């Protein structure tokens, strides 16, 4: 056999797309369970949408000039010449499904949640992959009531808190509505006329000026500091709306800070936008906001909505960074050992009988002799081994061996369950 060092895999997974190995699954189980528990508690129903959508769905809603659409979408043509995209985000597909399936007939607000993979053609680095998974929560049909902005933020915060991620905080901003945003954009353009920003920002100013506030380039930092803020340009309605959201957060005693440069990367947002961050983790764990025009844009009636998405991989990264311990409840297991042809033949039905009675059985039926099977039983940290040899198969009996003390006893097969239960 070649040594491990000499093995050269014929294929590697696609760049930026990762396997989730058995040893990582307990984290995933924990995150999935926390998301499901929170969804149940706050009354969100699960929705799933296809991985592939028309590329135009994202181009129109996230915006042609957004990073996601401009640089990160996996786009391809099917055999009927349709331009399709691997889903880069979940909000537009959920809004599409809401309109297409007439979900407006259901009682409102309609609360939906999902957990599925997303695809973005990014430069892979810590917390940034080409396939990632998001937990999304969306509240649709809420009359723009600020109480729901606060509830969305609360749910996002609780989810991270439930996973024991320490030092969480909320970054929040309001980017106004269709009435006040054009006024802000004009102010911003006027201000930047007299500045010398980076090359990217020069381009942003022509395609999507709001994004200059998001620029990370050093040249732009002092410029950004003097730039007008969205908050100063809010109309009366948006201003009161934002104040109300903050009052709710204060009532909840959630730690938030205003972030003038938070504009989010997707075009469908209006008014409240937020991100959840954890100290010591460079990337944000989740983000979201209000998107009151999206459903209408997709052919539905004007319908206010808001929500958030959290990256599962980033949540796990933050848990691991913080040394969060998982305490999986290990069900005591028994290890089944067989020796000889007759015993092997009778093994499968015997194990099936135990499974029906909810006794979890480990085995290594492909092995022949006692020693390697016992060694595996030890490795798996089973409490008991059941040893079924030729003699036992004839006599309808089996040996129960306590793997900690080494004590063993032969019992009749018909009494096996009773005897196992006595010992575990």
Q: How far apart are CA 260 and CA 12, in angstroms?
A: 42
Shortest separation between residue 196's beta carbon and ligand HAM, angstroms: 30
Q: Enumerate binding residues for ligand HAM (CB under 6 A).
A: 89-91, 120, 122, 127-129, 132, 134, 136, 138, 265, 284-289, 307-311, 313-314
DSSP string covering 173-216: EE---TTTHHHHHHHHHHHHHT----HHHHHHHHH-GGGGGG--
Q: Phi-psi region for residue 277, left (φ > 0), alpha (ψ -120 to 50) or beta?
A: beta
**Upper half-sphere CA count for residue 37 (Cβ side, 13 Å):** 11
Shortest separation between residue 134's beta carbon and ligand HAM, angstroms: 5
Tokens 């209006």 belong to residue: 270
Q: How far apart are CA 95 and CA 295, in angstroms?
A: 6
Residue nearest to ligand HAM (CB): 311
Shortest separation between residue 174's beta carbon and ligand HAM, angstroms: 15
Rank residues 313 and 363 by Cβ distance to ligand HAM and give the closer one: 313
Shortest separation between residue 274's beta carbon and ligand HAM, angstroms: 9
Rank residues 134 and 303 by Cβ distance to ligand HAM and give the closer one: 134
Rank residues 136 and 146 by Cβ distance to ligand HAM and give the closer one: 136
Contacts of residue 265, defined as CB under 8 A and 6 or more positions apart, other chains included, come to 62, 66, 67, 68, 211, 214
Shortest separation between residue 266's beta carbon and ligand HAM, angstroms: 6
Rank residues 132 and 401 by Cβ distance to ligand HAM and give the closer one: 132
DSSP string covering 29-77: HHHHHHHHHHHHHTTPEE----SEEEHHHHHHHT-TTSHIIIII--EEE
Rank residues 85 and 377 by Cβ distance to ligand HAM and give the closer one: 85
DSSP string covering 267-320: TT-EEEEEEEEETT-SS-SEEEEE-TTHHHHTTS----EEEEEEEHHHHHHHHH
Rank residues 18 and 391 by Cβ distance to ligand HAM and give the closer one: 18
Shortest separation between residue 308's beta carbon and ligand HAM, angstroms: 5
Rank residues 176 and 289 by Cβ distance to ligand HAM and give the closer one: 289
Rank residues 137 and 248 by Cβ distance to ligand HAM and give the closer one: 137
C-alpha of 279 from chain center: 19
Shortest separation between residue 251's beta carbon and ligand HAM, angstroms: 23
State both tokens at 13. 């997974």
Shortest separation between residue 95's beta carbon and ligand HAM, angstroms: 9
C-alpha of 303 from chain center: 26
Q: How far apart are CA 174 and CA 289, in angstroms?
A: 9
């Amino acid at each position: 056999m070649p040594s491990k060092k000499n093995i050269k895999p014929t294929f590697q997974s696609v760049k930026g797309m990762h396997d989730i190995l058995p040893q990582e699954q307990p984290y995933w189980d924990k995150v999935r369970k926390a998301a499901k528990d929170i969804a149940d508690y706050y009354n969100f129903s699960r929705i799933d949408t296809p991985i592939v959508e028309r590329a135009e769905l994202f181009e129109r809603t996230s915006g042609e000039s957004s990073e996601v659409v401009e640089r990160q979408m996996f786009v391809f043509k099917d055999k009927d010449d349709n331009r399709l995209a691997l889903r880069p985000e979940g909000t537009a597909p959920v809004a599409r499904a809401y309109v297409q399936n007439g979900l407006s007939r259901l009682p409102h607000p309609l609360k939906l949640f999902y957990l599925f993979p997303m695809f973005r053609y990014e430069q892979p680095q810590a917390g940034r992959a080409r396939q990632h998974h998001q937990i999304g929560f969306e509240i649709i049909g809420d009359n723009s009531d600020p109480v729901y902005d606060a509830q969305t933020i609360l749910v996002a915060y609780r989810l991270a808190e439930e996973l024991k991620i320490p030092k969480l905080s909320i970054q929040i901003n309001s980017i106004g509505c269709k009435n006040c945003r054009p006024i802000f954009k004009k102010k911003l353009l006027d201000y930047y006329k007299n500045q010398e920003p980076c090359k990217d920002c020069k381009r942003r100013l022509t395609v999507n000026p709001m994004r200059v506030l998001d620029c990370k380039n050093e040249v732009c930092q002092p410029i950004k500091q003097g730039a007008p803020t969205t908050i100063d340009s809010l109309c009366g309605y948006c201003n009161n709306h934002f104040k109300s959201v903050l009052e709710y957060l204060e009532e909840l005693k959630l730690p938030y800070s205003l972030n003038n440069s938070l504009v989010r990367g997707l075009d469908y947002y209006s008014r409240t936008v937020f991100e959840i961050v954890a100290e010591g983790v460079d990337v944000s764990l989740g983000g979201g906001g209000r998107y009151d025009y999206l459903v209408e844009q997709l052919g539905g009636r004007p319908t206010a909505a808001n929500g958030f998405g959290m990256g599962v991989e980033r949540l796990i990264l933050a848990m691991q960074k913080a040394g969060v311990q998982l305490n999986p409840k290990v069900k005591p297991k028994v290890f089944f050992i067989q020796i000889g042809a007759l015993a092997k033949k009778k093994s499968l039905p015997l194990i099936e009988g135990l499974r029906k009675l909810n006794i979890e059985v480990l085995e290594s039926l492909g092995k022949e002799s006692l020693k390697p099977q016992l060694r595996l039983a030890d490795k798996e940290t089973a409490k008991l081994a059941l040893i079924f040899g030729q003699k036992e198969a004839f006599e309808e009996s089996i040996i129960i061996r306590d793997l900690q003390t080494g004590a063993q006893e032969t019992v009749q097969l018909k009494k096996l369950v009773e005897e196992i239960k006595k010992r575990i």
